[in-house]
Amino acid sequence: MKRVLAGLSIAALASLAAQSVASDSVNVDELATGLSHPWGMAFLPDGRMVITERTGTMRLYSPDEGVSEPLTGVPNVDAVNQGGLLDITLDPNFAENQTLYFCYSKPGQDGNSSSVAKAELRNNALHNVQNIFTAQPLVDNGFHFGCRLAFDRQQHLFITLGDRYKYMDEAQNTDNHFGKIVRVHTDGSAPDDNPFIEGDAPEIYSYGHRNVQGLTVHPETGKVWAMEHGPKGGDEVNLLEKGANYGWPVITYGIDYDGDIISDKTHKEGMKQPVLYWDPSIAPSGMVFYDGEPFADWQGDLLVGALKFTHLRRIEMEQGAPGDQHEYLKDRKERIRDVDVGPDGYIYLLTDAPDGKLLKLSPAEKQ
């Protein structure tokens, strides 16, 4: 039974310890191993999956044939530190146009940038690769790219962009793309009703973010949710609103890695509060609302990968409010980079390692 923590403050919610669940509560199948820091995945209509590897390659996974050789046609990436080939998603009309979109750290003369390209997938190759968006300006470091992708029901493409670490104050400046979530058409142009359409960065949808590595659309409401890394403490789950300011770095529940205070404020008028935050940080990456039949009791719950504490986290949700939290697979000690629900209703995970894995979770049989 779901337990909604009505009346508790966000701070109280954050202090609640997650319940660790025995590993035998779910079955884990290792579908693929030997992946080089896998980062994103997308399910194809024919039952295959396309997987990105941060080091710069893209592969197909087939239940019958396993993992393919690297696809050809993938552009060069700046695979340094956190950068590389990152998230991937399918065009809403993929069955007709075979088009996919991927986010990567694009190298340039003055540094690199989070960029999005579209391409047609035919056989084991990308064709007609076109770069449709490049975050501005370029900088010379390898941190906080963001780079999660999702289409909403209006077929707008949402792209998450990090603050690039050294430029956190720029997350409050709506004339650039640091620390923003942008919304574009499939050609990269900005919709006319974007909130800053007259500015220097008309693609911006929301701002005041740090490093967003989770993005998903709620299967019932159609609303877009995002999840970002805090510094030392203060990872956040946010419900996105057009033109909203999510506060970084003016307000935060975290401190700097060396213990310095980034801000003494957790609230400020005109800045959004997170639906949920974690302190200490769990380093969240990948998120999806469960929608399927195999895990019937999990319907509508939020699933989150945890890099730092090596587990899959389930947050019970009721009418948009978080309740009890549960940790799975912690004893495997594998960093969870991405999480998704397949068309079959099973849960699929990518583990972040030089010898990364594709995992499939199914309910354990009741004894």
Q: Which residues are catalytic?
A: 144
Among 358, 239, 279, smallest CA distance to 14 is for 279
Tokens, residue 192: 């006319």
What distance in Å separates the CA atoms of residue 215 and residue 39, rounded to the nearest whole number?
13
DSSP assignment of 192-234, as one string?
TT-TTTTSS-TTEEEE--SEEEEEEE-TTT--EEEEEE-SBS-
| Residue 320 burial (CB count, 10 A) | 12
What distance in Å separates the CA atoms of residue 273 and residue 277, rounded to the nearest whole number?
9
| Residue 130 burial (CB count, 10 A) | 12
DSSP assignment of 229-259, as one string?
E-SBS-EEEEE--TT-B--TTTS-S-B-TTS
The separation between the first and the last C-alpha atoms of the chain, rounded to the nearest angstrom, is 20
Q: Within the chain, where are the H helices? A: 10-15, 94-97
55 in helix, strand or coil? coil
Pairing of strands 321-328, 19-20: parallel
What distance in Å separates the CA atoms of residue 343 and residue 323, rounded to the nearest whole number?
26
CB-based contacts of 60: which residues, under 8 Å, 6+ apart?
44, 48, 49, 50, 51, 67, 68, 71, 124
The residues that bridge with 204 in the sheet, in sequence order, are 182
- In whole angstroms, how far apart are CA 159 and each of 107, 352, 367? 18, 21, 44
Number of H helices, E strands in the chain: 2, 25
